[in-house]
Structure 1
């Protein structure tokens, strides 16, 4: 895969946008839409199955359906195309545009405090960028492209 195609998949922070549940072309959205299609009008029968199967799990179907609808409806086009829809206060995109760099590890100030990430995301961001710097963009992408993001 070309570096340009990889850059289209990975956000400037190094996270794979296409693996995000909010990405319009991501697998999570694709499979959520497929599951909604396969379930059809199951919600109409969930109450019946609760009694018929004597299983209280079906009381939770409305919550499951709400979550599935949410996962199927998101439509982010990725951080290189628009501001992140999940981390509205993310400072990475703005910084990457100002500094005209592709990834955070390329910046002399990396790691910095401009991300506005919580501790867990910040630590992951540092690890991802250090790994890209160490093994290279193409190798990083090959090693991570089939792994779940979460």
Structure 2
């Protein structure tokens, strides 16, 4: 693993964009596309199964959500195609300050980034990156649940 991969896949705040459900080249998108492809034509069987297994009545909604995941197009927080729902000051601030991560800023932790528990986690993530290094942090994050 090289530092470039970690820098490209981690957001400015320290979240791993590559493991996000909306990431265009992420595992969730790729697996969803594969499952969507494998289930083509299953609608008829799902209707029959719904007679005895009520969960299958929700199959059309499942397919809709699966197809959403299969078509995600976010390129990550450091790209021009950001689709992250978090209201994050760091997405624009990083460009102004020419940094990759918040902990690299002289004003970290600034007052503009997040509130409450989200702010606490943001500070913890950035302090951890600073302490163990970006590469080690990225490897560590890959071993944890994303959500």
TM-score under structure 1 length normalisation: 0.88
Long gaps (5+) in structure 1:
none
Alignment check: 8 A CA contact 1:6 1:141 kept = yes
Which residue does the alignment assign to 1:65?
A: 63
TM-superposed deviation, 1:5: 2.0
C-alpha spacing 1:135/1:70, structure 2 compared with 1 (3 Å): same
Which residue does the alignment assign to 2:133?
A: 136
Alignment check: 8 A CA contact 1:83 1:93 kept = no
Distance in 1 (CA, whole Å) between partners of 2:49 and 2:82 is 40
Structure 1 residue runs of 4 or more that deviate by more than 6 Å after TM superposition: none
Distance in 2 (CA, whole Å) between partners of 1:90 and 1:62 is 34
Distance in 2 (CA, whole Å) between partners of 1:74 and 1:90 is 20
Long gaps (5+) in structure 2:
none
Counterpart secondary structure, 1:45: helix
CA RMSD of aligned residues (A): 1.8
Q: How many residues align?
A: 147
Alignment check: 8 A CA contact 1:96 1:102 kept = yes
TM-superposed deviation, 1:61: 1.0
Q: Does 1:18 align with 2:18?
A: yes
C-alpha spacing 1:84/1:146, structure 2 compared with 1 (3 Å): same
Which residue does the alignment assign to 2:83?
A: 85
Alignment check: 8 A CA contact 2:3 2:135 kept = yes
Which residue does the alignment assign to 1:74?
A: 72
Distance in 1 (CA, whole Å) between partners of 2:107 and 2:146 is 26
C-alpha spacing 1:48/1:6, structure 2 compared with 1 (3 Å): same
TM-score under structure 2 length normalisation: 0.89
Alignment check: 8 A CA contact 2:74 2:84 kept = no
C-alpha spacing 1:10/1:92, structure 2 compared with 1 (3 Å): same
